[in-house]
Homo-oligomer: A and B are copies of this chain.
């Protein structure tokens, strides 16, 4: 299922080591100004670079194939494509024999009877998140009155907000030098979103956002507002008192969402991103060719903390889900 959304409908395609990756957007209203430059900021936030980062550097230049003409959306499907450049030919048959722990190698082979493109993870590659970032740039334009932002708040056991950038870099460099990897927590905040986004039950803001966010590789958990910590509160503490006619609340334990519908307060959620499964430390795992345990040594180029680059992906993925809910809600207001 490569598509997400009902009105702002996003479909992705491509493989890590194929011709390229991209996104097809249907249902985007006509007349929205979009320029190639508009993508550069967010694409650059996603780019590799800095401490703990992969050595594979792609130019990641968006090619607008369709749906944008004379600097604005036309109402027709928008296809934005990214050519794959810096791929390295190598023998991936190792991962067919010895699927990488924590990776899609084993399940992909089983699900597709060995027909999957395993090079660089194929269609399961994190490179596909380029498509989400590009679509999110347009989604944010639909939500022009709102401000969406995601930031990295934890790296391994370290709270990023209580540490200097230098300390974080040191942690990442250390992990990378050890050939290991480390996870992170990303926090999203969306302010000035309209009241009334989301639909009861299956179209709840939480349902729609979580469904989208779990499509980002390596995400293993999401919590809104007080989230898991909220279990420790009594109802009298967790309830957010409304304090004015706009619906503003004193606290925001519900993360801006009641009954699945946005209440005008900041939409807040946190996402945990597991440590990159591709590590250089040798791992004991099953060799399917020889039918016994064996030592796997991974080479290639990988991030030590994918959470860093995933931050803008989470932000833009949430924007896609919210833009879709925005258009859905509009259609029911007559």
Contact = CB atoms under 8 A, between A and B. Distances in A.
Contacts of A156: 231-232, 234
Q: How many copies does the complex hold?
A: 4
B107 A261 contact: yes
Contacts of A21: 66
Interface residues of A, number: 150
Interface stretch (A39-47, A54-62, A75-83, A161-169): A75-83
A217 B219 CA distance: 23
Given A67-B13, A259-B107, A220 B243 contact: no
A110 B15 contact: no
A29 B183 contact: no
Interface of A: 1-4, 6-7, 9, 11-15, 18-22, 24, 26-32, 63-67, 69, 72-79, 81, 99-104, 106-108, 110-113, 115-117, 121-124, 128, 142, 154, 156-157, 175, 180-185, 195-196, 199-204, 206-208, 210-212, 214-215, 217, 219-228, 230-245, 247, 249, 253-255, 258-263, 272-279, 281, 283-286, 288, 291, 293, 327-334
Nearest to A10: B202
B204 A214 contact: yes
Contact of A111 (B75, B99, B107, B327): B75
14 contacts: A1-B203, A7-B331, A15-B66, A76-B123, A111-B329, A183-B233, A210-B222, A217-B259, A221-B222, A226-B274, A231-B273, A239-B283, A245-B288, A327-B331
Contacts of A220: 206, 223-227, 230, 254-255
